[in-house]
Amino acid sequence: MDFLDRYRDIVPDWEAFRAVQFRPLISTARINTLKIGRDVLLERLAEQGLDCRPFQWYPLGLKLDVESPGKLLETLLGFIHIQEELSMVPPLLLDPQPGERILDLCASPGSKTTQISAMMENRGLVIANEPSLARVAALRSNCERLGAMNVAITRYDGRNFPRGLFHRVLVDAPCSAEGRERRGAGVIARGSCQRSLDLQALQIGLLKSALRLTVPGGVVVYSTCTYSPEENEMVVQAALDAEESSGAHLEKVKTPGLRECPGLEEWKATIFSPQMRFAARYYPHINDTGGFFVAKIVKS
């Protein structure tokens, strides 16, 4: 019995979900097309006899079964970036285009920021916001190592980011990180409903701010690495209900090659909008990944 038991009724195949928590994840990396082509990189890794397999759902993602992937020359030179598999989903949903203006509201350590920058081929502008000075260091270091040349860093409280407008905004929110248990055991032991509710207030503030800063017709992607409906569906619902997002709607999250579970339609006594099923829940035993939640909101 632990904190996860409260999800017994929402997670499909409960026993498999429980069992997978004890199986560590192998490392994953993203090929950084700002610095190297995919074929050349794969050839280099194969030459060294490294065990690497591209994801089936994303050609730039790799499963990399090596001891210290962070110390590979390819990592140090910025040809690859160690990044969680599902962390590569939100930028793909955001779908940034070269030349656009993008805001990454909770950017550090910059895995998604630099993926966005690569998708834009270094053209246009990414504002990477990170309030914590300590976390800015990691963000800057990753942007520089990966050769992201279209990123400017700001340090605002994301809830009060002063002005826009942006074509697309990513809110990869601070969360209770229950989906990271396979990476570092103990996350779930620290979880509590109160902690989720404390984070919820911040998350709603961030998502409402993002909707305010987005151009009409623009896209906001909200993601967390937690299962807690308090930090996921309840946050999205609160932001959709807010005045500044009148007419905003969810677009269905579908990533060919990955299996999503639909967003919840109710939790405890709360009934969500029927469109909440367009959001996606990723459970670790279904795709052999971490746990994740993502919603794509289109502003009208």
Partner 1 sequence: MSPRSSRARNVFEPLDRDAVAEIWNSRFAIPESVFSGYNFFRKARSIWAISDSELPGLSYEAIGMRIMNCKDRPWKPTTCALQVFGPYAEKNTMHLQAASARLFMEGKTQEVDAVTAEQCESGYVVVFYRGDVLGCGLYSHGKLVSQIPKERRLPGKEGEDIS
Contact positions toward partner 1, by CB under 8 A? 35, 68, 71, 73, 76-78, 99, 101, 122-125, 127, 136, 140-141, 143-145, 147-156, 162-164
Residue 80: CB minimum distance to partner 1, A: 13
Q: Of the two residues 35 and 182, which places its CB atom closer to partner 1 in the complex? A: 35
Cβ of residue 128: shortest distance to partner 1, in angstroms?
A: 8
Which C-beta is closer to partner 1: that of 21 or that of 154?
154
Q: Looking at 52, 143, 225, 261, which residue is catalytic? A: 225
3-class secondary-structure state, position 246: coil
Min dist CB 157 to partner 1, Å, is: 12
The CB-of-62 to partner 1 minimum distance in angstroms stands at 19
Whichever of 21 and 122 has its CB closer to partner 1, that residue is 122
Amino acid (1-letter code) at residue 233: E
Nearer to partner 1, 44 or 63 (CB): 44
Instruction: Establish whether 225 is a catalytic residue.
Output: yes
> How far apart, in Å, are the Cα atoms of 218 and each of 59, 101, 170, 229, 296?
26, 11, 11, 25, 11
Mention every residue, 6+ apart, whose C-beta is less than 8 A from residue 132.
108, 155
Say if CB 139 and CB 109 are below 8 A apart: yes
With CA atoms as reference, report the closest residue to 80 among 136, 145, 126.
145
At residue 287's C-alpha, the angle toward residues 286 and 289, to 5°, is 110
Which residues are annotated as catalytic?
A: 225
